[in-house]
Amino acid sequence: MPEQSAKSRARSLAEGLPAIWGDGLGRSAIRALQTLLVLALVAVVIWAVTRVPLVVTPVLLALILASAIGPLVRWLDRRHWPRALAVLTSFVAILAVFSGVIVGVVFLIRSQSKGLVRQADVGIDRLHQLLNGGPFPVSDAQIESFRDAAQKFILSTTFGSEALTGIRVAGEITVGAILMAVILFFFLKDGAKIRAFLFSFLPAGQREKAFVAADHGAIVLGGYVRGTALIALTDALIIGLALAIMGVPLALPLALFVFIGGFIPIVGATAAGTLAVVVALVFNGPVPALVVLLVLIGANQLEHHVLQPLLMGKVLRIHGLVILLALAAGTTLAGLVGALLAVPLTAVGWSIVKTWTGRDDPPAESAEPAEPPEDTANTEVSAKPQ
């Protein structure tokens, strides 16, 4: 019966079209034109979004962090904490942890700076001898040419313009971080009200589905952030412990760098671990560097074959090829920020699509849906459609 009604609708539609559009090829052309229009709309939206990164990036980062911190706020809320106090406590706790780690690392580097300079001189001489007498010898003339090229670049106007660009980017990052903190606070405090207001523009029959899709998306997003943090922390502990055992200086800052790199899928932790291998090579020699390299390879295997399927397999439910393509697209469109946001946004988008089309089961991770606004009785927009 449904197939017959669909055929009858298609037949009646074709009867109202000119002959050139009424046959199969004409209907295919109409559908192709509709697809092109949708793709053009998507391209315009992406173009507009990439033109205002200072606004869009803090909003997206705040949304991701709010999904991850939301369970803590709800846990405090269930223990009869005032909503504003629960949000402020969670916000300050997260901020204190990150600030404390960064300040500790900075003081550690400053306290070891003099000894590191002396060790670096010795390490550079050792590396020079290794390059001269290694399996693939590099002559002093080649090393000097590399050094001259680096000096010319530093003294060139290109480097000066790049430095000015770096200062401007640093200022934008500072402003974006402050804006993200403000947006995150309001997302945690009034997220349900904001969501209800936005969904009020949808047709009445679609609001319930929108709320379900938003709940599933929040579960996927929060699970992704918490799972990624656990995986990055595991990698950082393994590599940091190996660096400490081998006596490599700056083990804690390098472990922190590995933790931060873990939030970039596939390549982040590997790139950060490569820096640890280079530091071990310069300060400790080839044998400790080889040991750190083997530990890095083992940590990557543990991440890909054990931790990823265990912690995020049931949450993401997207193929590794999709993750790789999303990472490449995000990096192309928005650089490092795009690499950070591509995978979680892809996972959330796919979850919303499946929910909207009725093909999705609830995410495996148990989480309570976001609570409706407290004063829905006194507002024009209710949190749930009646």
pLDDT of 70 > 60? The answer is: yes
Provide the pLDDT confidence category of residue 114 given band limits of 50, 70 and 90. low
Total-model pTM: 0.65
Q: Write down the residue that tokens 């990823």 correspond to.
A: 308
- Reduced to 3 states, what is the DSSP secondary structure of residue 202? coil
Averaged pLDDT of the chain: 74
* Among the ranges given (57-71, 141-155, 239-253), the one the predictor scored with the smallest mean pLDDT: 141-155
Token pair, residue 198, equals 């936005």
pLDDT of 37 > 90? The answer is: yes
Q: Percent of the chain, pLDDT > 70?
A: 69
Provide the pLDDT confidence category of residue 128 given band limits of 50, 70 and 90. low
Per-residue pLDDT tens digits for 7-35: 555 554 555 566 667 677 877 888 889 99
* Among the ranges given (46-55, 341-350, 360-369), the one the predictor scored with the smallest mean pLDDT: 360-369
Q: Is the model more confident about 306 or about 39?
A: 39
Residue ranges of domains in the chain: 52-371
pLDDT of amino acid 116 = 63
pLDDT of amino acid 384 = 42
Per-residue pLDDT tens digits for 272-304: 888 888 888 878 878 888 999 999 999 888 887
pLDDT of 347 > 60? The answer is: yes
Provide the pLDDT confidence category of residue 166 given band limits of 50, 70 and 90. low
pLDDT of amino acid 371 = 46
